[in-house]
Structure 1
Amino acid sequence: MGSVRKASAWLGLVEDNDERYYDDEYAEGTGAGDQWVTDPRVRVASETAEEQGRRIATISPDSFRDARGIGEHFREGVPVIVNLTSMEPADAKRVVDFAAGLTFGLRGSIERVATRVFLLTPADTEIVSGESAGRPGDGFFNQS
């Protein structure tokens, strides 16, 4: 098919009768044995993450209008990571105030993860810190 014919077919001016790139077997599946073959060392979970309550939402709002999405996920009991690095400082402050009120009202917690990145967790979620509680301050890793 020539380039002019391809362009015309793409624009819908002529019918595209060139079906050599379309694989019917791939599009329709191969029948009963359609399952993906994976490495035998990989264990496939029987339940989805949503059924087990293992979802985390990541939201990078552009303006304060996107704060509603934060609230909707949080009300469903989903922990939310809010990345405010692309926002203006005034709008970012408003979103943090909104998130603080949201977590207070629903008995959750808010924690600063990095500069302008916050983690909102519902009341039934436990945050496990990467620091070892039992490690003494003057132990092996103290290089001072």
Structure 2
Amino acid sequence: MGVMNRVLNFLGLKEEEEGAQDKEYDQEETEDFETNPFEQRKIKSNVVSIHSQKNVRVVLNEPHNYDDTQEIADHLRNRRPVIVNLQRVRPDQAMRIVDFLSGTVYALNGNISKIGPQIFLCTPDSVEIQGTIKEMTGEEHYN
């Protein structure tokens, strides 16, 4: 009759009676899952949240002199992208700031991009920059 019960159970016509062996197997299986809840969630669901990454904060900074550059470098070290506006800094100070920030992003495997007149985007290696912004000259005309 054991074969007949298995056939009926396979077809869904009869519920299988749990034997001692099945109970032992179930206990071993649940003990494995209880010891590692992360693995249990991983096995039970293949759904991945699209909101798993935390919010990225972009810092806007307008230094007034070279001494303010250290604050920008600290933001980059903390993996925050920084937009730097150098329009209110003397040209010689602006050049020193860009040189310092270029060295900083190089050391962090990041990038520095010019996004406007005397405006730069400095990013750590965790941020990818896509596309370019061309400088407008007097020769370019748009219809």
Task: Specify the TM-score bucket, using the shorter chain as the normaliser.
Answer: 0.5 to 0.7
Q: CA deviation at 1:124?
A: 1.2
Q: CA deviation at 1:130?
A: 7.3
Aligned ranges for residues 105-144 of structure 1 at < 5 Å? 105-129=107-131
1:86-129 Cα offsets, whole Å, 9 max, x none, are 00000000000000000111100000000100000111111233
Q: Which amino acid aligns with 1:96?
A: V
Structure 1, unmatched stretches of 5+, are 1-46, 132-142
Q: Which amino acid aligns with 2:57?
A: R
The structure that has the greater radius of gyration is: 2
Instruction: Say which of 51, 54, 77 aligns to 1:52.
Output: 54
- Which stretches of structure 1, 4 residues or longer, exceed 2 Å deviation after superposition? 128-131
Higher normalized helix content (fraction of residues): 2
TM-score by length of 2: 0.54
Give the number of equivalent residue pairs. Answer: 84
Q: CA deviation at 1:53?
A: 3.9
Whole-angstrom distance in 1 between the partners of 2:125 and 2:102: 13
Whole-angstrom distance in 2 between the partners of 1:109 and 1:53: 20
3-state SS of paired residue (2:95): helix
Q: Which residue of 2 aligns with 1:77?
A: 79
Q: Which residue of 2 aligns with 1:87?
A: 89
Q: Percent identity?
A: 33
1:85 and 1:66, CA in 2 relative to 1: closer, same or farther beyond 3 A?
A: same
RMSD: 2.2
TM-score by length of 1: 0.54
Whole-angstrom distance in 2 between the partners of 1:91 and 1:109: 21
